[in-house]
Amino acid sequence: MRAARHILSQPAFGPYDGGEVSPGPTVVSDDQILDWVATDAETALHPSCTAKMGCDDLAVTDPASLRVHGVDGLRVVDASVMPAISNGNIYAPTMMIAERAADLILGNEPLPPDHADVYRAPATDRRSGDSEHPA
């Protein structure tokens, strides 16, 4: 808290300083800061991997159906079925899980694979940037 306040109080931030909103300038002591953290702080983490899909002893959901092992009529359709968190934002994989679950629930068959060509940029001469005369 003190480090953030120190950094944001620098003159370069002056034009953007509208004053501290939370926890506010009256929270100063270690005890006050800890009390604020305990009551008001939030995580920006994306909860995931708490009901991982798989077939091992730690798996909660079936990867083929997203049904919960040993429970009838219950599927998990969110980031918690990921067996491990992705290196990037989890929004896109979560949407893919949801789309797949919708197809499972509706009984839709998967689309056939699309073997589209992959675009590759023309080779360039790295020294000159000339794409007509590659090195």
Enzyme catalytic residues: 46
Give the pair of three-digit tokens for residue 72.
Answer: 């009838």
Q: Which residue has the tokens 């219950």?
A: 74
SS (H, E, C) the chain: CHHHHHHHCCHHHHHHCCCCCCCCCCCCCHHHHHHHHHHHCCCCCCCCCCCCECCCCCCCECCCCCEECCCCCCECCCHHHCCCCCCCCCHHHHHHHHHHHHHHHHCCCCCCCCCCCCCCCCCCCCCCCCCCCCC
